[in-house]
């Protein structure tokens, strides 16, 4: 998919000869790929194969043993991407809306809580504390950071974890809309998310 929306002129992601280690064990060896605007890259592999390690390296949390990670055209890569890990990292006593407004302040952006509530199908839970949400609702709340931050490159670690059929449909729509805007999605998955990936990377083999 070639994006033509607001992210069309934003950076693409380029990985060159990337090698990642955990201790002395090589998890990713000599990996190269390019994710242009509108790309959806699936990262597959067994448990412990290196999917999370790759995403954390792309997010700048881990230093590669070799190779380069480049966000072409980015003046500040950390403001180009948004990483959502497999943990939701919510505050049980804070409401859904309070989370959204907190994140807006954290990211230094305008409040977009109504948009996020609508797109993540959480409007009915807006004033509920996070501790009473179902696992799927909590995961959707964690994913709503993507709507709040509005950054062109999404790095998602098992984004569909705990989602039911409705939640998976919400996630698929979110990904497709982001791609249509020219955004890039790189997601570690165990099974297909729904949208057809533009490329699939397999790690740990």
Per residue in 79-88, pLDDT tens?
Answer: 789 999 999 9
Sheet holding 40-44, edge to edge: 81-84, 153-157, 184-188, 40-44, 199-202
- Cα–Cα distance measured from residue 59 to residue 78, given in angstroms and rounded to the nearest whole number: 8
pTM of the model: 0.92
Q: How confident is the model at residue 10 (pLDDT cuts 50, 70, 90)?
A: low
Token pair belonging to 133: 């949400």
The secondary structure of residue 39, as a DSSP letter, is -
Cα-to-chain-centroid distance, residue 151: 10
- Cα–Cα distance measured from residue 204 to residue 197, given in angstroms and rounded to the nearest whole number: 20
Q: Contact at 8 Å (CB) between 164 and 135?
A: no
Which pLDDT tens digit goes with each residue over 11-64?
A: 789 999 999 998 888 999 999 999 999 999 999 998 888 999 999 999 999 999
Give me the helices (H) in the chain, please: 51-58, 96-107, 113-119, 135-143, 145-149, 165-180
Which pLDDT tens digit goes with each residue over 72-126?
A: 766 677 778 999 999 999 999 999 999 999 999 999 898 999 999 999 999 999 9
42 Cβ neighbours under 8 A, 6+ residues apart = 187, 189, 192, 193, 197, 199, 200, 201
């Amino acid at each position: 998919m070639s994006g033509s929306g607001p992210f069309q002129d934003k950076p693409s992601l380029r990985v060159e000869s990337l090698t990642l280690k955990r201790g002395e064990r090589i998890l990713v060896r000599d990996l190269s790929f390019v994710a242009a605007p509108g790309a959806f890259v699936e990262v597959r592999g067994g448990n412990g194969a290196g999917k999370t390690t790759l995403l954390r390296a792309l997010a700048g949390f881990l230093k590669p043993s070799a190779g380069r990670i480049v966000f072409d055209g980015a003046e500040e890569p950390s403001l180009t991407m948004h990483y959502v890990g497999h943990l939701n990292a919510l505050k049980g006593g804070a409401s859904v809306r309070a989370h959204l407004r907190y994140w807006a302040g954290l990211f230094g952006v305008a409040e977009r809580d109504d948009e996020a509530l609508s797109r993540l199908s959480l409007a009915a839970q807006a004033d509920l504390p996070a501790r009473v949400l179902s696992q799927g609702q909590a995961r959707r709340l964690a994913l709503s950071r993507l709507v709040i931050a509005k950054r062109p490159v999404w790095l998602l670690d098992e984004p569909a974890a705990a989602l039911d059929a409705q939640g998976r449909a919400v996630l698929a729509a979110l990904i497709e809309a982001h791609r249509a805007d020219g955004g890039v999605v790189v997601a570690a998955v165990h099974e297909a998310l729904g949208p057809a990936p533009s490329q699939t990377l397999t790690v740990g083999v």
